[in-house]
Copies of this chain bind each other. A is one copy, B any other.
Amino acid sequence: MIHFNRKTEYALIAMEHMIRKEDSHDIGASQLTSAREVAEAYQVPYSLLAKVLQQLAGRGLIKSVHGTKGGYILAKDPEEISVIHIMEIFEGPMALAECFKEEKITCPQWDGCRIKHPLSQLNHKIYHLLADTSVAHLVAGH
C-alpha cells in the first residue's frame, strides 16, 4: 500500500512544528521543543512521539538537549531534509516491489519477470516526488 506509518506522520508533524517555531522570531521564547510539547499540541501519544524524536536525533536531523528545560532543535536546514529521508528512517528503503531494494536478487520470478522494468520506472518517479519535497515545504508559506 501507499501509506505513511504513524511514526513518519508524527515525525513530519514534529518537524513542521519545529521549523515554524524557528521561523517565528520570538525573542525570548526558547527555541527548544520538548516531546511533551508536541504530544500535547497535536494529541499524539507521548511515549511513541518521544521515540520518534530520539530516532530523528540519532540520525542527526535534530539536536537534543538533556535535562529540565531541555528538548530538541533543528540540526540542519529543513530545505535539505526531504520527506523520503524521514520516511526511510521509519519505514526502511522505499520500494514498490521487494526486488527493488535487494542487493542480491532473491526473487524467484526475477529472470522471467516482465514487469520489473516499467515498475522500476514508476518506482523512481514516486521516489523523486518524495525526494523533491523538503520538510520545509510542509510549512505554510514556504
Contacts and interface: CB of A to CB of B under 8 A. Distances in A.
Given A122-B83, A129-B122, A115 B97 contact: no
Nearest to A17: B114
Interface residues of A, number: 43
Contact of A94 (B2, B13, B44): B2
A42 interface: yes
B126 A2 contact: yes
Interface of A: 1-5, 9, 12-13, 16-17, 20, 41-44, 83, 87, 91-92, 94-98, 108-109, 112-115, 117-119, 122, 125-126, 129-130, 133, 137-140
26 contacts: A1-B3, A1-B5, A1-B94, A2-B94, A2-B95, A3-B94, A3-B95, A3-B97, A3-B98, A4-B96, A4-B97, A9-B97, A13-B109, A16-B115, A41-B112, A42-B109, A42-B113, A43-B108, A43-B112, A44-B109, A114-B139, A114-B140, A118-B138, A119-B138, A122-B129, A122-B133
